[in-house]
Structure 1
Amino acid sequence: MRSNFTLLALALAATYFSGAAAADAPKVAQKAAYKVGFAQTESNNPWRLAETKSFQDVAASCGWQVIFTDAGGSAAKQVADIDSLIAQKVDLLVFPPREDKPLIPAVMKAKKAGIPVILVDRDVDHKLAKPGVDYITFIGSDFIDQGRRAADALVKATGGKANIIELEGSTGASAATDRKKGFDAEIAKHPGMKIVASQSGDFNRDKGRQLAQTLLQAHPEANAVYGHNDEMAVGAITAIEAAGKVPGKDIFVVSIDGQRNALDAIIAGKMVATVQSSPYFGGISCKIAQASAKGEKIPAWVKVEDKIYDISNAAKDIAEGF
């Protein structure tokens, strides 16, 4: 069942669409300095902290005065944060939508106010808001491909035979939806691979640990775990060890992100692989904003290319972890 907040968001989105013309998204103005709003989803894990730092690091060189907000893991709070940034008349809004539908009204309200928007890391539902029309672009990874590559690594590690527990990300987040889609579709191609349980751990380490503990007890036949991010996968490794089993031997773990703690787990033999998902959007966002100000055509999706870390390169590339 949809939450009341989601239903309200959809209703508001319909209102904005019915009242707005199909004009192109607002473009970044040509100015020497900009007031930029960055509305973060939460700051409770290394990935989000690295993402925020990338904007802090680029601010001076890009001519940005960045106003940072933190939604604390709440889509409703992120909408309120963006409303506040709009009221402060920022020149540009950049944010990762915590969920793909509840943040639609925020995108449309910014458009109505003439404020250009760049979405990073997570996108919104294109049936309700379109890049190039309602916001400049989406900068991010191919989440479906990330899920597929994680599945491929797990198939190889298990010899194509596994009972898998899937720890999903935040419900309604484009990253979670697509990482599941890519993984599940690839696993379905292998008769010896079966997903025995799949639930949301909200991209959170402790929730991932608790969920893994519960699901491992419910499914003692499980010999593989797929985490939609490293935080949940690292939490699952703790649960595996607490259950008296050996990660990397009794239960194989794959994940997505490329955090330092995941690379350490790979080196220690506790994790098979993690697919990189770069959090460094500050520099790319600056370049896209500059291109918009020059009137250049911006693609609807500025795709970030990701690598995969496994035992062959985790130690060599450990400095890339965050």
Structure 2
Amino acid sequence: MKKIARRTLLALTAAGFGLGAQAQTPVHLGVSIPTATHSFAAGIVWWAGVAKKELETKYPALKITIKTAANASEQANQLQDLMTVSRINALVVLPSESAALTKPVEQIHGKGVYVTVVDRGLTNPSGQDAYVAGDNTAFGRIPAEFIAGKLGGKGEIVALRGIQTTLDNERMDAFNAVMKKHPGIKLLDAKYGNWNRDDAFKVMQDYLTRFKRIDAVWAADDDMSVGVIKAIEQAKRTDIKLVFGGAGAKGSIKTLMDGSDPRIQANVSYSPKFMYDAIVMTAEARLKGQKLPATTIVPSVLITKDKAKDFYFPDSPF
């Protein structure tokens, strides 16, 4: 496994990506992302729009064209349009599907376009110049450490996974690695909730039927945590003291800030804002004719009540 460079935007700026008064190379940056079919994707689209507005205002030499696609084939067609019609010379792309978009992105890259891939990697990374994503290992490790601490190393828990992807495997593996250090905690089951409220509700209903005692739930996503809590309340169960979601959805962060649900005690960041970060980093680097590190991981951090206000974006759809 190649070594991953873990850097924040602050570190990148310190390394020389702030522009100041230096000469700027004209850049037409294409942004290719999935359509806002659910709240996290809506957040991706929203943050891309914020980046476009801020950057085009700040840098006259920069133009940004954003395309959203409902599926992989539409996204592939849009990539060709960005190349032949819009004549981009840089691209930030979040693939709808890794395998299906690898070839189209490779073709763009092969024509001299600088490519930054976000979140869902290509099956062949040679078709990209840079990769920007959230920290999936920390996304699994941080909740596990928090839950183990709150339970004092003893208890019975359940987990809800996302969709069957390498991303989800990284999270679950990291969660399990922590729990192996706490043999007094028993993971009763870990089923897929598909990052979906309704699916999570059904999975939690099953757990509540099968397990007479549950001390804590790792929902692994804030949308899923909504379904989990709905199921708990419908069943009138009072044994569950902690529900840990993830990704920092504004509803969950507001609940954490207000302290309105004692089961919501913390969160872990994995914000769609990394799309904004990727666009800013790519645009500013290319305006100077520079490149980004091959891999940049935007850190996932523990969000507690005292820090929640720093992760609350009320205007975002997520």
TM > 0.5: yes
- Once the two structures are superposed, what CA deviation does each residue of 1:69-103 show, in whole Å capped at 9, x if it has no partner? 143xxxxx234313332244252432333554454
- Return the offset for 1:106: 3.9
Structure 1 contact 37–67 (Cα < 8 Å) conserved: yes
CA distance in 2, matches of 1:195, 1:102: 35
AA aligned to 2:117 is L
Match of 1:193 among 177, 185, 205: 185
CA distance in 2, matches of 1:227, 1:201: 8
- Return the offset for 1:259: 1.5
Structure 2 contact 72–97 (Cα < 8 Å) conserved: no
Structure 1 contact 278–304 (Cα < 8 Å) conserved: no
CA distance in 1, matches of 2:32, 2:194: 22
- Once the two structures are superposed, what CA deviation does each residue of 1:208-233 show, in whole Å capped at 9, x if it has no partner? 22222223223333322112211111
Kindly report which structure 2 residues correspond to 1:208-227, keeping only aligned pairs within 5 A, or say none: 208-227=200-219
Match of 1:162 in 2: 155
* 1:181 to 2:181 alignment: no
Structure 2 contact 221–247 (Cα < 8 Å) conserved: yes
AA aligned to 1:67 is I
CA distance in 2, matches of 1:58, 1:270: 35
AA aligned to 1:300 is A
Kindly report which structure 2 residues correspond to 1:92-171, keeping only aligned pairs within 5 A, or say none: 92-124=90-122, 128-130=123-125, 133-171=126-164
Match of 1:86 in 2: 80
Match of 1:64 in 2: 63
- Return the offset for 1:146: 1.8
Match of 1:234 among 226, 234, 253: 226
- Return the offset for 1:238: 1.0
Structure 1 contact 153–272 (Cα < 8 Å) conserved: no
CA distance in 1, matches of 2:198, 2:79: 31
CA change 1:256–1:308 in 2 (3 A) is same
Q: Structure 1 stretches of 5 or more lacking a match? A: 1-29, 72-76
Structure 1 contact 104–129 (Cα < 8 Å) conserved: yes
AA aligned to 1:69 is T
* 1:319 to 2:309 alignment: no
CA distance in 2, matches of 1:112, 1:157: 51
Match of 1:39 in 2: 33
CA distance in 1, matches of 2:241, 2:107: 47
- Return the offset for 1:283: 4.5
Match of 2:248 among 258, 266, 271: 258
Flag the structure with more relative contact order, 1 or 2, with Cα contacts below 8 A and sequence separation at least 6. Answer: 2
Structure 1 contact 41–98 (Cα < 8 Å) conserved: no
CA change 1:185–1:104 in 2 (3 A) is farther
Match of 1:275 among 268, 274, 280: 268
Q: Secondary structure at the match of 1:139?
A: strand
AA aligned to 1:129 is N
CA distance in 1, matches of 2:79, 2:98: 19
CA distance in 2, matches of 1:102, 1:222: 41
* 1:299 to 2:289 alignment: no
AA aligned to 2:299 is E
AA aligned to 2:248 is G
Structure 1 contact 41–78 (Cα < 8 Å) conserved: no
Structure 1 contact 245–251 (Cα < 8 Å) conserved: no
* 1:287 to 2:281 alignment: yes
Structure 1 contact 55–283 (Cα < 8 Å) conserved: no
| Larger deviation, residues 160-169 vs 232-241 | 160-169
Q: Secondary structure at the match of 2:127?
A: coil
CA distance in 1, matches of 2:42, 2:295: 23
| Larger deviation, residues 151-160 vs 298-307 | 298-307
CA change 1:57–1:304 in 2 (3 A) is same
